[in-house]
Amino acid sequence: MKTIQKTLTTALLALLFVGQAWANGPEANKEGMVADWERAKAYTLEYIDAMSEEGFFKSPTEGIRTFAGQMLHIADGNAGIVGIGTGTQGPFEGRVEQDASLDTKAKVREVIVKAYDYCIEAVKNMDMGKADESVEAFDQNFPRIEWVKKAFEHQTHHRGQTTIYLRMLGITPPPERLF
């Protein structure tokens, strides 16, 4: 009898916990995503600030993006993929990665700030009631929330690639920012 009571009590507590998490889930998830995007912005800006002006437009080898190119690629990916997920229009017309006028560290930094600010606001204003709604782009079909997660993964991947650019110039990359 005690085993049955213990099992029932455990099951009821689990249902209450899951029910409470589900009730608060979407908005709590949004708050966590906003905090992650704010942290990612600060971390990416640390990378930009660490890179020297002369190293900014250098490539480690032929056929590889420059450091600036990687950062502009992050801006394009952030704006484009988050736009798909949130159903909002990004801040750029065309691809900034191909904009030859972005020829200084300061100009590239400004574009990065604009892209991250857009992502942060788009996620803050995202209708979490539509988070599971499927959206097709790039011959892929994912729920809106997954597009936002994929944008985050994309920027993390490309920022991580720039670590080698800094190290090749003898610059110590910024310390990890998991929290």
Instruction: Inform me whether the pLDDT recorded for 162 exceeds 80.
Output: yes
Residues 6+ apart with CB under 8 A from 43: 159, 174, 177
The per-residue pLDDT for 24 is 54
Q: What is the pLDDT of residues 129-161, one digit of tens each?
A: 999 999 999 999 999 999 999 999 999 999 999
**pLDDT for 22 beyond 90:** no
Q: In angstroms, rounded to a whole number, what is the distance separating the alpha carbons of residues 114 and 127?
A: 22
Q: Residue 36: which residues within 8 A CB-CB, separation 6 or more?
A: 152
DSSP reduced 3-state for 137 = strand
Q: Given this model, what pLDDT does residue 115 score?
A: 98
Over the chain, what is the mean pLDDT?
88
Overall average pLDDT of the 102-119 stretch: 98
Q: Residues 163-167: contacts with CB within 8 Å, 24+ apart?
A: 164/60, 165/51, 165/55, 165/58, 165/60, 165/67, 165/70, 166/47, 166/50, 166/51, 166/55
- Say yes or no to pLDDT of 52 above 60: yes
**In terms of CATH, what superfamily is 30-168?**
dinb family like domain (1.20.120.450)
Give yes or no for a contact between 107 and 101, defined as CB atoms under 8 angstroms apart: yes
Integer Cα distance of 147 and 140 in angstroms:
10
- pLDDT in the model for residue 25: 60
Per-residue pLDDT at 77: 96
Note the pTM of the prediction, 2 decimals. 0.84
Residue in the structure block whose two tokens are 């560290």: 105
The pLDDT assigned to 7 comes to 37
Where are the chain's structural domains? Answer: 30-168
Q: Which one has a higher pLDDT value, 49 or 18?
A: 49
Higher pLDDT, 179 or 122: 122
Lowest mean pLDDT among 37-41, 44-48, 56-60: 56-60
* Total Cβ atoms within 10 A of residue 50: 16
Which residue pairs, CB below 8 angstroms and at least 24 apart, start in 68-71? 68/102, 68/105, 68/108, 69/97, 70/158, 70/159, 70/161, 70/162, 70/165, 71/44, 71/47, 71/108, 71/111, 71/112, 71/162
